[in-house]
Amino acid sequence: MSFRFKQFSVEDSHSTMPVGTDSMLLGALTDPGNASRILDIGTGCGVLALMMAQKSRAIIDAVELDQESANEAAENFQMSPWNTRLACFPVALQLIELLADRRYDLIISNPPFFKNSLKPESIKKALARHDLTLSLEELMKDVATLLSKDGRFAFILPADRWPEAQTLAKKHQLFPMKLVRIFPYPGGKVTRIIAELSPVESEQIQESELTILNEERKYSAEYLAATKDFHYF
């Protein structure tokens, strides 16, 4: 399927990680600031990397293990206004350090996080949506190695996995500096956590909430405001 955003287009018909609400929220709520180099882990169709390219002047590397997804992301990058700043590497995260001695000011990821859910029939989807090839433990370890000393790691995951993620992050000297609790609709339970971690421990964590749908089950005003620079509504 092809998606037309305000400043770029994304084709995701061959990707293990198509465009979805999780990626849109993570990309919309993550401020790259003055980051000069950004890494997108498990880029899928490349939408998060493209959102960061729109919001910054950074050089952006993306890693994607699935070859078809990596090819599609590379094509989406090439068709964007920022093609000279975007590159996709069809390798596992664990191998990215072998490509070059790089450190990143911002690492962003919509990781494979459904650890205990039923495995989908498609192997491609299983690799993308379950931590078969990259566990949370490995993710935190590699992120800690790849971040610059003042860097940030922004990611989204199911709310019930946040305690585990926070424990593993602390083990690798990564500390929360920002948390956004995502509600699907008013009165619902928190289903997602967007977190930003840093090697530098914050005295006070910035915490907020966002509800995706309103009482009429249409996009809420806060969701529309968050994604207004990307979506046509």
- Edge-first strand listing for the sheet containing 37-41: 86-89, 59-63, 37-41, 104-109, 147-158, 192-198, 175-183, 206-211
- Domain of residue 142: give its range: 2-174
Task: Output the pLDDT for position 101.
Answer: 72
For residue 117, the domain's CATH number is 3.40.50.150
* 180 domain-assigned: no
Whether residue 185 contacts residue 177, with contact meaning beta carbons closer than 8 Å, is answered with no
Residue carrying structure tokens 């509600």: 183
Beta carbons within 8 Å of 167's beta carbon, 6+ residues apart: none
Helices (H), 79-220: 96-99, 123-129, 136-146, 162-171
- Tens digits of pLDDT across the chain (233 residues): 789 999 999 999 988 777 999 999 999 999 999 999 999 999 999 999 999 999 999 999 999 989 999 999 999 999 999 999 999 999 877 666 655 578 999 999 998 654 343 344 444 444 444 344 568 999 999 999 999 999 999 999 999 999 999 999 999 999 999 999 999 999 999 999 999 999 999 999 999 999 999 999 999 999 999 999 998 87
In sequence order, what are the residues at sequence separation of 6 or more whose Cβ sits closer than 8 angstroms to the Cβ of residue 50?
5, 8, 10, 76, 77, 80, 82, 86
Within a domain: 157: yes
- Residue 98: the pLDDT is 57
Domain assignment present for residue 184? The answer is no
198 within domain boundaries: no
Strands 104-109 and 147-158: parallel
pLDDT of residue 97: 61
Per-residue model confidence (pLDDT) at position 124: 45
Residue 182 lies in a domain: no
**DSSP conformation class of 85:** G
Cα–Cα distance for residue pair 175/125, rounded to 1 Å = 30
Is residue 229 a part of any domain in this protein?
A: no
Whole-model pTM: value is: 0.90
| Number of domains into which the chain is organized | 1
Structure tokens, 213: 């749908």
Q: Is 55 domain-assigned?
A: yes
- Whether 213 is covered by a domain: the verdict is no
Q: What is the pLDDT of residue 95?
A: 67
| pLDDT of amino acid 112 | 67
- Supply φ then ψ for residue 26, to 5 degrees: -60, -45
